[in-house]
Chains A and B, each alone.
Chain A
Amino acid sequence: MPIRTVMKANEAAAWAAKLAKPKVIAAFPITPSTLVPEKISEFVANGELDAEFIKVESEHSAISACVGASAAGVRTFTATASQGLALMHEVLFIAAGMRLPIVVAVGNRSLSAPINIWNDWQDSISERDTGWLQFYAENNQEALDLILIAFKVAENEKVLLPAMVGFDAFILTHTVEPVEIPDQEVVDEFLGEYEPKHAYLDPERPITQGTLAFPAHYMEARYTVWEANENAKKVIDEVFEEFEKKFGRKYRKVEEYRTEDAEIVFVTMGSLAGTVKEYVDHLREQGIKAGAAKLTVYRPFPIEEVRELAKKAKVIALLEKNVTFSVGGALFQDFSRALINEKEKPIILDFILGLGGRDVTFQNLDEVLEISRKALNGEKVDEVNWIGLRKEIL
């Protein structure tokens, strides 16, 4: 029987790792995800998880050790955030290029300077071009579930890409919520034992991994990462379906909420989706035709689903906790790509908010609504808007 309990997202991530039975975990503590390796080291110390836990001297070595272990043919896991993920940056490309299905839990946190330990998505968003799959959790249950899903998708032979699962710093990492811990046997059935297909270091079958490629081959290697990302779109749907059958919880790459007949659709990711859904309820009570959508999967970018969503809206308001300088947010670029050649498309507006842990309040969302309504009425508004900015201290 699944256990219903309460826990922080960090604990949920550690539980997911325990259930997935990785053979090697290498981690370096960083706020706000420190509790993940702490909890895992407890599991290992108590014999509840039969794994090698490498207490590395940096995040760079954490991910490097994961690459070494994954290349040797075992399931591997680590957790990090912010500067730690940034320190891994170089090796993230390598893990994807070598097609190693490593899973990383990311307690989404802002980047320095100024140093700030609170939530936004700049850390993992900045890694969007590494080739990694990216999932974002709305709550602690999703943090647990999406890590299991990430392993399953990553290890699919049509994919074989590393995956990161983001959950918001403090809003989730340190907040206790109800979580259902699935049965080990069902997880075992769902994930199965990891069997390396292309990556192993076996003296009986010596292979060379991580070679140099001349211009004659490099582009093709990059293309296979592209192709694997494309393949992942279908595989994710299949895995979501299987997950629902086994565990009863339904996931979609783009989860829509009250979008039928909506004129304005607020689109976001992570824990902010919860706030936005509640805000939509509040608007609906006033008779305002608003809806919400949440991107559970950010890479591969769900272009088809976004196009479907766009058909239902007159204005798409993107709520982003990240910045792509001089452009807006990353989602703004992605949505533009998805919709630019569509015959009919909604107005796309970008809203940057909640950076470095600033609360996103209903008052902030009222501002978003006001700008969106102006656009809906044909008034000229800015495409990119910073919401909740304290202009008086600038």
Chain B
Amino acid sequence: MAVRKPPITTREYWAPGHAACAGCGCATALKLATKAFSEAMEEKFGDPNAFAIAQATGCMEVVSAVFPYTAWRAPWVHVAFENAAAAASGVEAAWKKLGRKGKILAIGGDGGTADIGLQALSGMLERRHNVVYLMYDNEAYMNTGIQRSSSTPYGAWTTTSPPGKYSIGEDKPKKWVALIAAAHQIPYVATASIGNPFDFVKKMKKAAKVDGPAFVQVHCTCPTGWKSPLEKGVEIARLAIETGVWPLFEIENGDFFNIKIQPPGGGAKVKREGGKIVAIEFKKPIEEYLKLQGRFKHLFKRPEAIDEMREQIKAMWKVLGVEVTLPKPEE
């Protein structure tokens, strides 16, 4: 009987036994990312283990490296919150001098990347270190108990953006770090989601094989911070793609005129011109994504805030060169 090859390596670098919350979407992201990395290293250097990880302080760091235990089956170092990219620069430089083949993976959450670590990230990208920076974006400081970051989406409840008489929750649009990274004209930038794991793995492999720096921003769910059902992480992440909230794209060499947009699925109608996606008519309203999460619950009493959110999403897609139509739910 023929044995089917598993879709991704069975090697585990993010080992079972880590202390992440039940249903953690970011744990899934790291598991897939390291597997993808390993496959890329095997294909590129003939050695699946030819990588090291430098990780920022954050929930995925504290749950994976509690002395005297570790969940890491790869060489791994944590320095501080804001300097994963700088530490990775040092590791990469050392590997270069040691003549070690392989690639460095830097990992940071949205706080450690979009906020406090942005400068170190910019420096690392600008200097063209041979590092893949993976930003796991669960859209708030989950490690310290759900405070807003600059990557928190408009309207979301967090402990520092509470909705109230004078507040709709988070009142600033999300910062799109992938676009900032792309402005460094580095070889490869992509957004990904645990809602489309095959696509994520494909992009991580591509990023790992590129010579020079790459940046991948993966949307991953946090049932604790999003107040969402434990078992619905992947479904929620997929809904973010299908409703237009989370765009999937790739930018190579900072070429903003050739952003590769991926069709979102979920029945969306895609209009292409010369092979490029120029317009998307989404079928599923963003409310389908919002309603599964307690962090947006208050918005349903404030429909004007959801309309504002739609406008911001349209504006964000416009930057990507795509006109989108976002439906309202049927009355």
Question: Do residues B97 and A203 form an inter-chain contact, with CB atoms below 8 A?
Answer: no
Question: Do residues A203 and B50 form an inter-chain contact, with CB atoms below 8 A?
Answer: yes
Contacts of B79 in A (CB 8 A): 64, 67-68, 71, 91, 94, 210
CA A64 to CA B129, docked complex, whole Å: 15
Contacts of A70 in B (CB 8 A): 90, 94
Q: Does A69 contact B (CB under 8 A)?
A: yes
Contacts of B67 in A (CB 8 A): 211-214, 217
Q: Across the two chains, which residue of chain B brings its CB closest to A199?
A: B77
Question: Do residues A65 and B68 form an inter-chain contact, with CB atoms below 8 A?
Answer: no
Q: What is the minimal beta-carbon distance from B261 to any residue of chain A, in angstroms?
A: 31
Question: Do residues B78 and A56 form an inter-chain contact, with CB atoms below 8 A?
Answer: no
Q: What is the minimal beta-carbon distance from B112 to any residue of chain A, in angstroms?
A: 12
CB-CB contacts below 8 Å: A36-81 with B: 50-52, 54-58, 60-62, 64-74, 76
Q: Does A208 contact B (CB under 8 A)?
A: yes
Question: Do residues B86 and A64 form an inter-chain contact, with CB atoms below 8 A?
Answer: yes
Contacts of A90 in B (CB 8 A): 80
Knowing A51-B97, A206-B72, A217-B67, the reply to whether A66 touches B90 (Cβ < 8 A) is yes
CA A69 to CA B89, docked complex, whole Å: 8
Knowing A65-B87, A65-B90, A66-B90, the reply to whether A206 touches B97 (Cβ < 8 A) is no
Question: Do residues B76 and A208 form an inter-chain contact, with CB atoms below 8 A?
Answer: yes
Question: Do residues B66 and A214 form an inter-chain contact, with CB atoms below 8 A?
Answer: yes
Contacts of B82 in A (CB 8 A): 60
CA A24 to CA B89, docked complex, whole Å: 10
Query: Of B62, B70, B86, B98, which is within 8 A of A56 by CB?
Result: B86
Knowing A24-B90, A66-B90, the reply to whether A206 touches B96 (Cβ < 8 A) is no
Question: Do residues B123 and A56 form an inter-chain contact, with CB atoms below 8 A?
Answer: yes
CB-CB contacts below 8 Å: B1-57 with A: 47, 49-52, 54
Question: Do residues B98 and A23 form an inter-chain contact, with CB atoms below 8 A?
Answer: yes
Knowing A57-B119, A203-B102, A217-B67, the reply to whether A210 touches B91 (Cβ < 8 A) is no
Question: Do residues A203 and B51 form an inter-chain contact, with CB atoms below 8 A?
Answer: yes
CA A64 to CA B54, docked complex, whole Å: 11
Knowing A72-B91, A201-B91, the reply to whether A55 touches B66 (Cβ < 8 A) is no
Contacts of B95 in A (CB 8 A): 72, 201
CA A76 to CA B86, docked complex, whole Å: 14
Q: Does B65 contact A (CB under 8 A)?
A: yes
Contacts of A91 in B (CB 8 A): 79-80, 83
Interface residues on A, range: 35 or more
Question: Do residues B62 and A72 form an inter-chain contact, with CB atoms below 8 A?
Answer: no
Query: Of B52, B86, B98, which is within 8 A of A61 by CB?
Result: B86
Interface residues on B, range: 35 or more
Question: Do residues B87 and A68 form an inter-chain contact, with CB atoms below 8 A?
Answer: yes
Contacts of B120 in A (CB 8 A): 57-58, 60-61, 64
CB-CB contacts below 8 Å: A56-114 with B: 56-58, 60-62, 64-74, 76, 90-91, 94
Knowing A60-B83, A210-B78, A211-B70, the reply to whether A68 touches B102 (Cβ < 8 A) is no
Q: What is the minimal beta-carbon distance from A146 to any residue of chain B, in angstroms?
A: 24
Q: What is the minimal beta-carbon distance from A390 to any residue of chain B, in angstroms?
A: 40
Knowing A64-B120, A214-B66, the reply to whether A203 touches B47 (Cβ < 8 A) is yes
Q: Does A209 contact B (CB under 8 A)?
A: yes
Query: Of A23, A26, A74, A201, which is within 8 A of B75 by CB?
Result: A201
Query: Of A65, A205, A210, which is within 8 A of B65 by CB?
Result: A210
Contacts of A206 in B (CB 8 A): 49, 72-76
Q: What is the minimal beta-carbon distance from B18 to any residue of chain A, in angstroms?
A: 12
CB-CB contacts below 8 Å: A256-274 with B: none
Knowing A61-B83, A61-B86, the reply to whether A24 touches B93 (Cβ < 8 A) is yes
CA A50 to CA B119, docked complex, whole Å: 28
Question: Do residues A52 and B102 form an inter-chain contact, with CB atoms below 8 A?
Answer: no
Q: Does B159 contact A (CB under 8 A)?
A: no
Question: Do residues A201 and B97 form an inter-chain contact, with CB atoms below 8 A?
Answer: no
Knowing A60-B86, A73-B98, the reply to whether A68 touches B77 (Cβ < 8 A) is yes
Q: Does B293 contact A (CB under 8 A)?
A: no
Q: Does B324 contact A (CB under 8 A)?
A: no
CB-CB contacts below 8 Å: B86-111 with A: 86-98, 100, 102
Which B positions have Cβ atoms within 8 angstroms of A?
47, 49-52, 54, 61-62, 65-68, 70, 72-80, 82-83, 85-98, 100, 102, 119-120, 122-123, 126-127
Q: 8 nearest interchain CB pairs?
A: A68-B90, A57-B123, A65-B90, A72-B94, A68-B87, A64-B86, A61-B86, A64-B83
Chosen A-B contacts, 10 in total, with CB atoms closer than 8 Å, are: A23-B98, A56-B86, A58-B123, A64-B89, A65-B90, A72-B52, A72-B77, A204-B49, A207-B75, A213-B67
